Chain A
Amino acid sequence: MTETFTGLIPYILTGLQVTLEVTILALGIGFIIGLGLALVRVYGSKTPAQLIAVVSVIIRALPHILLLLLMYFAIAALVNLTPFWAGSLSLAIISSAYQSEILRGALLSVGSGQMMAARTLGMTRVQAIRHIILPQALRQAIPAWSNEAAIIVKDSSLVYVLGVPEILRKAQYYSARTYQPFTAFIAVAVVYFVLTFLTNRGLCALERKLKIPGQ
């Protein structure tokens, strides 16, 4: 068993870079889109805000794997994306819907009196959001956001259906070659656990570091 593991874990880890790339792209792009969507929903005019709310409801109502297949086979047929980019962008769009809800909640948690006070001091709305609201809201968002980060680490495994060789697909290759599925899946479970654990630990440290003293 130990012999198998010493060969197996390094083999699975050859897919680690892909897993990390998919995760970081999905989280990063998802954050940028999600933040934009959240700002429009909280501070934008009525129609765009409603439109975003509807898209967000649709995305969150569908299974991730279904959206992934839809985007790869239906929408990505117009622009011929590689499986890697189709997978990463699909996950980014899915994640942006969840992140926009997290960030919207965080924006709303900053008392409305602060916006009024900032405007009274002569700041424009954009300045108030940039210097007063966002620094507080983003700190508030970290605990909920680390949950989303953990979900995306695990969801990055979904891109295997498009044949992107991340760690789960590597485990499947191993299983197909050696006819030992159980060993392969246990090993990949260990890798996912470590990844999620480190992600959460990192974000916890960030949360403590950025904490506003006295709050």
Chain B
Amino acid sequence: MKTLSRIVIVLLLGALILSACGAKAPANKLEAIKSAGKMVVGTSADYAPFEYKDEQDNFVGFDMDLIREIGKRMGVEVEIQDMAFDSLVAAVEQGKVDVVIASMTETEERLEKVDFSTAYHYQKSSFLAATGSAITLAVPEEAANYKIGVQTGTTLDEWVTENLVDAGKMPAENVLRYERADQSILDLQAGRIDLVLTDAGPAKEYQTNGQAMVVLTEKLFDTGEAIALTKGEADLKAELDKIIQTLVDEGFVDQLAQQYGLE
């Protein structure tokens, strides 16, 4: 048994060393992208109308059109790589993808791992209830009286945790966390939760499709959606910021938002 435990320790140490080596990054990402002529973009294509797939299996949506335009202005091709939302920050941190665009907003936790470009869009948040529900909310804080579903690891999850649970307004077990937004809608329809807190854009789509009903739409954050990139890549960040600013000034972003029915 002594040999056994020694072997276990050696193996675990080996795994640790391997994982520590994994965190290296190339010297300058912008140069690397330009010389490759290709920018690898991570997203989670299960969040219409921001990023999803059409019937022909193309990546479409507000974020997808935006990043393709950004790629065009940088003079590089854009290769979209899809993965689960939870994996995205780790993927860009490890250099598996160059940048991430996934309706993602800047948070303190994410900033420890990755940098963010300037925000390209500011989005409101909506509370959804089951169609025909009698629930009304005057202010977002009233949601504390109900069971709320959120997508795990999102800023909305954080908002509920900080402003409602940690503030002592509601018990922690009344917040249910889902891997994806559509799962929370299923539970809303099943009556297991009373409200779903999600971004205003998708919420409107759910209402249009008769899957749920928007109860309240509010601006909960001052931070907007931004592109995540590997930490310390100042040149890449400057390039992205410059292009985003130009696209906002030209009205391209507003036009795109209208096209996808966003506010």
Check B11 against A55 for contact (C-beta < 8 Å).
Answer: yes
**Complex Cα spacing A11 to B196, Å:** 29
Check B7 against A51 for contact (C-beta < 8 Å).
Answer: yes
How many residues on B have C-beta within 8 angstroms of the other chain's C-beta atoms?
Answer: 40
Residues of B contacting A175 in the complex (Cβ-Cβ under 8 angstroms): 46, 182
- Which residues from 63 to 86 on chain B have a C-beta closer than 8 Å to any C-beta of chain A? 81-84, 86
Which one of B8, B18, B23, B205 lies within 8 Å of A75 (CB-CB)? B18
Check A181 against B182 for contact (C-beta < 8 Å).
Answer: yes
- Which residues from 126 to 177 on chain A have a C-beta closer than 8 Å to any C-beta of chain B? 160-163, 165, 169, 172-173, 175-177
Residues of A contacting B57 in the complex (Cβ-Cβ under 8 angstroms): 14, 165, 173
Check A74 against B83 for contact (C-beta < 8 Å).
Answer: no
A73 contacts the other chain (CB 8 A): yes
Min CB–CB distance B154 → chain A (angstroms) = 15
A69 contacts the other chain (CB 8 A): yes
B55 contacts the other chain (CB 8 A): yes
Check A161 against B87 for contact (C-beta < 8 Å).
Answer: yes
B207 to A, closest residue via Cβ? A179
B3 contacts the other chain (CB 8 A): yes
Min CB–CB distance B2 → chain A (angstroms) = 11
Check A173 against B46 for contact (C-beta < 8 Å).
Answer: yes
Q: List 30 A-B pairs, Cβ < 8 Å.
A: A53-B4, A54-B4, A54-B8, A69-B87, A72-B96, A74-B18, A75-B15, A77-B19, A77-B22, A77-B94, A161-B84, A162-B83, A162-B84, A163-B87, A172-B182, A173-B45, A173-B53, A173-B57, A175-B46, A175-B182, A176-B46, A176-B52, A176-B53, A176-B180, A177-B52, A179-B206, A180-B209, A181-B183, A181-B185, A181-B186
**Apart from the given pairs A50-B7, A172-B46, 12 other A-B contacts in the complex at a CB distance below 8 Å:** A50-B3, A54-B11, A58-B8, A74-B18, A77-B19, A77-B22, A78-B21, A161-B84, A161-B87, A173-B46, A176-B182, A177-B52
